[in-house]
Structure 1
Amino acid sequence: MTSTDSARFTRSELISAFATFEETVAHAAETRDWDPWVEQYSPDVLYIEHAAGTMRGREAVRTWIWKTMTSFPGSYMTAFPALWSVADEATGRIICELDNPMRDPGDGSIISATNISIITYAGDGLWCRQEDVYNPLRFVSATMKWCRKAAELGTLTDEAAAWMTQYGGGR
């Protein structure tokens, strides 16, 4: 897709498509069924996730998201709401900051980290590119904070304890 091609979408269409994207993400987070989220991408999607690498194609994204969201800490993330977003008609992109809160460790705490996502619209409700930009150390720090809080409260699961040990936090 060239920049001329991407400029074919109106601001209204971009905003509407992103609203549907957000609804689908919210439903996936609630149900833990990631397939509808993956189906929002074109079959030849380019997904750049700086910690996980570059994925080409919907099936590569599907494999990655299922693995990520069914193991700690992804499996403890409860939602992915956009804190803000900008529609860029000239590039056919939505640029947004997504929150990644983890489930309550037992005292009502909300522990999260954020990322910037740049999502390129392909039309017909599909997205052809996504790039997630963030500092992985902030995610490690937030997850470690969650683990320490859960350990303090006696709610640390074996899976979370193993992650904590692997990343230097001990039990």
Structure 2
Amino acid sequence: MGRWSKEEIEAAFKTYQVQGRAAARSGDWARWGEMFTEDVTYVEQEVGQWGGRAAAVREMAALMHQNEGTPWVWVNQYPVKAYIVDEDRGWVWSQIWNRMEDPGNGRVLQENCLTMLRYDGDGLFSYEEDLYNPHAYVQMVKDWVKINKECNQDPVDDTTRAARAEAARGFADIPSFEAEPPPASLGERHAEARANRGTKGRFPREELEDAFDHFRAQLALAGKTRDWSHFGAAITKDATWIDCALGHIGKREGIVRTIEDRLHQVDEDAPWVQLCRFPVGEFIIDEARESVWSFFWARFDDVGDGIRHEAKVFAELQYHGDGLFKVLETLYNPNHFDKAMESYKAGKIVYDERRERREKRLAEREAQARSMTPDD
């Protein structure tokens, strides 16, 4: 049992959502800052780490007030895709859509962001970390600028829309009337039923944990052997992989083939074959949604210096039953993979040179020792 109840943490998260949207739409990011402790740590995966509420508000405002070139100011809506409250440890795991203002034609332009929040009491959070694909965000903004420009070149004003609507209603068989919302009593009638509903899905927590243990074991085995059919043994034949950079890949064979096309590269310029370790960090079971949310490290093999050359990956796994997962969604920063590759190659060069010098010294010492050995 944690220090704070699930209800308290959840209430703070709901306020966080309200304040975040209000800040984005008003431009006053101090309202977002009100959700954090004074010494909050904010980890922005692309920009860096900010320490303290004042710094977080200042840097976030500087980023989100951009209105030329890449107008981040129009990313001003944050509907929550899904979230899990870890009551025992005081964390909120959330996937939040970063959605742009209507560009003019109603098209939804949004990208997913994994946001981790650590609760610290009194309705405040002391830590936030975001993980997303910055390339997808840049492309989203470019698309918005293009669509917005096209809509403004040939705009349809409200008068024209009203005239078209009136003309269209003339084709109807019945006269028009006011739209009717659901009755106010609807929610009240079902309040008791909602309160008595269980929060558990079809599968017991223990089954999801066992399936995830098998999944992570198969992932580790696939990396060690470079045979990704082992990974395929943890997913259904008709599985879907939704990757933030590669898109949607369907079926077990297609998923395995896509991974092998990438990780079987052995050339010296990009030896992705050495990306072969995948230890799991934090994870949480969402029994109600029958899923597992997890962080794992995509790590290059040790070059001999003990340094970890790795990138952080978030994965949401939807369970199917029979120990298999049917949907995998992965989110990460591709730039971190490129940096891990470069650091791995640089580390290998340094270590190989050091090893050659050491082998040379040892050979010289051995030769000297042999020359000093008395003849018997």
**TM range, normalised to the smaller chain?**
0.7 to 0.9
> What corresponds to 1:144 in structure 2?
142
The higher relative CO (CA closer than 8 Å, separation ≥ 6) is in 1
> What corresponds to 1:166 in structure 2?
none
CA RMSD of aligned residues (A): 1.6
> What corresponds to 2:163 in structure 1?
none
1:58 Cα deviation after fit: 0.8
Letter in 1 for 2:28: D
* Bigger Cα Rg: 2
1:148 Cα deviation after fit: 2.3
Q: Identity of counterpart residues, as a percentage?
A: 29
CA distance in 1, matches of 2:85, 2:122: 17
1:26 Cα deviation after fit: 2.3
Asked if the contact 2:27/2:61 (under 8 Å) is kept, the reply is no
CA distance in 2, matches of 1:98, 1:36: 18
Q: What SS is found at the alignment partner of 1:100?
A: strand
User: In the alignment, is residue 14 of structure 1 matched against residue 9 of structure 2?
Assistant: yes
Higher mean alpha-carbon deviation, 63-72 vs 129-138, is at: 63-72
Q: What SS is found at the alignment partner of 2:76?
A: coil
Question: How many matched pairs?
Answer: 150
Q: What SS is found at the alignment partner of 2:88?
A: coil
Letter in 2 for 1:42: T
CA distance in 2, matches of 1:148, 1:69: 19
Where do 5+ consecutive residues of structure 1 fail to align? 156-171
Letter in 2 for 1:26: R
User: In the alignment, is residue 44 of structure 1 matched against residue 39 of structure 2?
Assistant: yes
1:154 Cα deviation after fit: 3.9
CA distance in 2, matches of 1:102, 1:30: 11
> What corresponds to 2:24 in structure 1?
29
1:151 Cα deviation after fit: 3.3
Counting only pairs closer than 5 Å after superposition, residues 1-171 of structure 1 correspond to structure 2 as 7-72=2-67, 73-154=71-152
1:11 Cα deviation after fit: 0.9
> What corresponds to 2:214 in structure 1?
none
CA distance in 1, matches of 2:15, 2:142: 33
> What corresponds to 2:361 in structure 1?
none
Q: Deviations over 1:110-131 (max 9, x none)?
A: 2111201000001001100000
Asked if the contact 2:8/2:123 (under 8 Å) is kept, the reply is no
1:94 Cα deviation after fit: 0.6
Q: What SS is found at the alignment partner of 1:24?
A: helix
